[in-house]
Amino acid sequence: MKVTILTGGSSVERDVALASASQVRAALREAGHQVRVVDTVRGPIPESEVKATLRGQIRSEPPSVQALAELERQFLLGELGRIPEILEAEVVFLALHGGLGEDGTIQSLLDVVGVPYTGSGPLASGLGMDKDISKRLFRLAGVPTPDWAMAPLSAEATRQQVGWPVVVKPSKQGSTVGLTLVRRPEDFDAAVGLALQYDDEVMVERFVPGRELTVTVLEGRALPVGEIIPKHEIFDYECKYTPGMSKEIFPADLPPSLGKECADLGVRAHEALKLGCYSRVDFRLTPEGGFFCLEANTLPGLTRLSLVPQAARAAGIEFADLCDRICRGALVKRGREQIPSR
């Protein structure tokens, strides 16, 4: 199959996208596919430059907003529909995270061009990116989620509507970029100011203590539930992408009844947002045994430290097979292939 990986981009998750692309490229080639790579801000990456560009390494801090603004001035979004590597592909594999690559913008363009692509469609991508709308849909679907309010909000209003402590975060951002755990009213305004650097909408969400769990949904089914034990109180950017900063356990050590409940809630959240072939849904499990859905990831990371490949491995699916199935899921969405029974 001719597969073009679309990666890079100008979001603060650019490094994560390039690292995902590095792993996906190797896996798809292992599976026997012809693979080319396109950076959405720089165009096709020549084979001679692929290794240097797809470093597979993520710095402990995301790229600066200023550096990303410079990249965005070179943005090639309007040209993507004319690039041969896109037009000639049988499938475009979206190794993009955050920004225009995950909010439905590029998905809409690819729909116009008529090229199958991995992940979710424009509407589902937009719903998943907007945490406020996602949480509203979770509740309508019977998936518990922590109480929240949207800024502008005073510290006193936060106390009354949400209660301390809270998590302050950009409403449309991933990888916990711009996120702060706030325990004291005097720290609230600074946390909102940080979140506003990454998004014009800021969510203030009740902090739920407990265990961090995650559910990967693949082809409509939940893979083994995983648990993340970060070295920080929050599974933040550094813990996600720095080796040794977190411990991941697949499958999670849960009683069967709780494992099934978490998996079922993950599928229900996936369906509430009308997501595509795969996603990852994150939860907190309280000491009292209650689940709270934090968010759904429509294009979860596929780096060597990422959670989806670990969940797949726990289900007996090796990484090359996982990437192959994600590609074939894009063809299924277009009605060009049927997923073989397994």
Helix (H) or strand (E) holding 256: helix 256-272
| Per-residue burial over 133-157, b = 16 or more CB atoms within 10 Å of its CB, e = otherwise | ebbebbeeeebebbebbebebebee
Q: What is the CA radius of gyration of the chain?
A: 19
**CA dist., res. 302 & res. 95, Å (int):** 8
Helix (H) or strand (E) holding 325: helix 319-333
Angle at 14 between CA 81 and CA 279, to 5 degrees: 80
**CA dist., res. 265 & res. 172, Å (int):** 22
The catalytic residues are 13, 175, 241, 280, 282, 295, 297, 301
Residue ranges of the alpha helices (H) in 64-154?
Answer: 65-72, 84-87, 105-113, 122-129, 131-140
Distance of CA 150 to the CA centre of its chain: 21
Amino acid at the residue 342: R
What the block records as the tokens of 108 is 């809409």
**CA dist., res. 11 & res. 65, Å (int):** 9
| Per-residue burial over 79-93, b = 16 or more CB atoms within 10 Å of its CB, e = otherwise | ebeebebbeebbbbb
**CA dist., res. 276 & res. 330, Å (int):** 8
